[in-house]
Structure 1
């Protein structure tokens, strides 16, 4: 007969010592509850908002530049290629250094890097407002891009460690975080439009500095202490930083993207010697980086993650979508100013539907990602992009904003938010806790790299069609180069569908489903949670 366990008695009193009773079960924290590192829900909300502002940093800057690009170009005497370099400089610097900052955050701590990057972004934004030459403005935008690279990995790393277990609360936090990209672009355009209309384009950078100074102060008090193990700064840690991998990725990405952005405007076009050299050397260095990472004991990017088919497919779909979104929205903003002759403020007002739609889509995403197949969400995002860019591609100078641009904005946000939400959550679930910052770096590096490539291709297409554009046909002469860029964005989005159909991602977050067979089925449950 089975005997129930009895708690040990005290020798002196012969009574049961309740403190010595061994609990039959271990209490597991509820993943749906507020993480213990937060003292209140207010702190948690402000932390997620501050983390969102980190990922919004680059988009905020791009949006601000988009509506003042014509004014800046006229004031400083810049060509179209030089204007696009204002945005390209930040995305290029951000993409090239993200992996390095991701590894630094994982090794030496995330909070200090996070807070410092917000503060120095404000400092460089302030300096950009005083720029007197195109090269000064481009360099300072590059430095702001460097700060975006320093802020995103620790922000995503903190989110990944705080919300470690799959849950609806984690879905909501990551949905808010993912909203930073599209909403940052739109609010950047709105704030920049208002500031430049009241004062001038320089006020846009001053306002950007004020906003991020406020959030850098807020981060000091709302970001919880980073409890992950830190590495001592010694030779062994230096080797873990993969210095050769860092040099290969920075030099490779930098040279390749610089060639793409400058090739069309070089003295002899794409046949210019230094353009060819930059393209070839940049490509070879990136290939060398892949081979190096396969054999180095402490790789900057573990190549094994690419063996996960869904991981690779998600990244490819995201990069094609990000490339098309960034290029299309930039040139559409420029089109409104150059062709329709709208002021920065009027342009910003007409971009406002993107912000409203972005909030709606991210709220919906937070509630359905654990219920609806994420493959379906990715495909929805792909087709949202295709329809969006097709609408603005067939737009002409006489077309109605409400018939073409308005629905295009709504569909573009659907595409951007759904793809980014699914990708962010999947990548965070695919990497261990001590590599959450590098996980965020991988997503952002590829995204920014493809944005830089997209800007280079878009600028080349714009200039090539612009030189040969003639009066006549469906499109008016002024619209033809812009329409060609929008068709390029449509094509890139169309290609992404070919990869999205092979995804096998189910739902993400929520409760694990019980499996009756036990044993090996635990692996299936774990995989289901990740999916």
Structure 2
């Protein structure tokens, strides 16, 4: 059986290196953009007059657009040109970032965040498909995707730090403005570095399928976000989640009858696509929600400040960067399936060890060691997921494949935190702390809730070790 190691590992050409620098730089910027506003939210609320309860919409507005339109954007890139969509998305990102920095009211800021989310939905799958089509399936593509994963993790981590520095030294508006010169540089360089990529024969756009799947994703992300704010018993959140299920059923029915389906069911039926994306969903949901759990532990149990919490969790970011660097070698030596299993196993063991955490300051050393090792395992699993989910498909469907993978990432990030938040609240309620997370929490009750959620998180990760993408 042919494996990655059996293919000839050709060296990158000079042009491929330029392509890599340009595309990885843009993906890094998008990752920074995802987290750069988190620490600035209270300052933004004060400056623009946001009600405290409405601040979460600064993040939710972005997530709705980024997750809701990414699958559609990936397929449009396949049909109408990946470079064209990439350029359009970068232009929109630059303009929306400028608008966000100049916003003088909550409505204008939220509109800018929606536009930034749309830009991310366009640029991410278009950029990833340009990356995968620039490197043949094999070691070079695995290396490129590994570096992409490492830089994205570095972007998520450094975004919070950069946001804090810009907010403290200049203004929260610079968390938006910083994107403008970067987007402009990418727009200038792209025509000279990237060649257009689109099919000679362009099939008709599947409009009903596009409407159904986009509506389903929007309802899903809104429902999960609402559940994170009001709990899973909230009728609005439940209604949105139910609507998403109905729309996905409609989408499947539409795709069965469409002459040129948005997402051919034969692609979804491929084991590498189906099981690979399930693995990606678990990888993103568990690790992002673990960051939420450890933030609770560090601040509510150990009494850390926001800055100290960010620095402590930066060790996890270092682990993910290392994981992205070593992942291509792991994939080459072990193969995709075993690498995926090994990454999840390391993440599961590391996460399970966090169940030993106590209320004494000395436990920080276990947290640092476990999150570093878990970060390495998580990124190995993510790179294996990306390679698996985009393998075995022709270049004409790489936008679809990367759109599915990006959608998986966004939904995983969105769903992990409300699910783990519900577990924490239920565990605290069972222990007599029914007041929830907002007020009246004793450190021992928070610790109890966090430990239960950590065990659930580790169990989900352990279950993912049994995913076999090639079966």
Q: TM-score range by the shorter chain?
A: 0.7 to 0.9
Partner secondary structure for residue 159 of structure 1: helix
Equivalent residue, structure 2, for 1:89: 61
Equivalent residue, structure 2, for 1:242: 206
Q: CA deviation at 1:470?
A: 7.8
Work out which of the residue numbers 145, 154, 166 in structure 2 matches 1:195.
Answer: 166
In structure 2, relative to structure 1, the CA distance for the partners of 1:338 and 1:69 (3 Å cut) is farther
Q: Does 1:342 align with 2:305?
A: yes
Q: CA deviation at 1:212?
A: 3.7
Equivalent residue, structure 2, for 1:425: 387
Structure 2 counterparts to residues 122-141 of structure 1, below 5 A: 122-132=94-104, 136-141=108-113
Per-residue CA shift, 1:190-217, capped at 9, x if unaligned?
Answer: 3223222323433323334444443343
Distance 1:80 1:482 in 2: 26
In structure 2, relative to structure 1, the CA distance for the partners of 1:334 and 1:140 (3 Å cut) is farther
Name whichever of 312-321 and 378-387 sits farther off: 378-387
Structure 2 counterparts to residues 239-318 of structure 1, below 5 A: 239=204, 241-263=205-227, 265=229, 273-318=235-280
Question: Considering only aligned residues, what root-mean-square deviation do their CA atoms show, in Å?
Answer: 3.5
Higher helix share: 2
Contact 2:71 2:400 in 1 (8 A): yes
Equivalent residue, structure 1, for 2:456: 491
Contact 1:389 1:487 in 2 (8 A): no
Work out which of the residue numbers 324, 338, 358 in structure 1 matches 2:320.
Answer: 358
Equivalent residue, structure 1, for 2:140: 169
Q: CA deviation at 1:370?
A: 1.5
Name whichever of 305-314 and 422-431 sits farther off: 305-314
Q: Does 1:379 align with 2:341?
A: yes
Distance 1:463 1:327 in 2: 14
Per-residue CA shift, 1:413-446, capped at 9, x if unaligned?
Answer: 2133111211111222221111111110011112
Partner secondary structure for residue 179 of structure 1: helix
Q: Does 1:410 align with 2:372?
A: yes
Equivalent residue, structure 2, for 1:229: 199
Q: CA deviation at 1:245?
A: 0.9
Per-residue CA shift, 1:203-236, capped at 9, x if unaligned?
Answer: 32333444444334343433x212443456xxxx
Q: Does 1:120 align with 2:98?
A: no
Q: Does 1:34 align with 2:12?
A: yes
In structure 2, relative to structure 1, the CA distance for the partners of 1:124 and 1:95 (3 Å cut) is same
Q: CA deviation at 1:259?
A: 2.3
Unaligned runs of 5+ in 1: 1-28, 36-40, 506-530
Distance 1:55 1:483 in 2: 38
TM-score, normalising length: structure 1: 0.75
Contact 2:322 2:376 in 1 (8 A): no
In structure 2, relative to structure 1, the CA distance for the partners of 1:325 and 1:108 (3 Å cut) is same
Per-residue CA shift, 1:99-143, capped at 9, x if unaligned?
Answer: 211111111111122123223223322333344555544443232
Equivalent residue, structure 1, for 2:40: 68
Name whichever of 289-298 and 484-493 sits farther off: 484-493
Work out which of the residue numbers 207, 211, 230 in structure 1 matches 2:178.
Answer: 207
Distance 2:50 2:180 in 1: 24
Unaligned runs of 5+ in 2: 1-6
In structure 2, relative to structure 1, the CA distance for the partners of 1:304 and 1:351 (3 Å cut) is same
**Rg (Cα) greater in structure:** 1
Q: CA deviation at 1:274?
A: 3.9
Distance 1:456 1:286 in 2: 21
Contact 2:276 2:469 in 1 (8 A): no
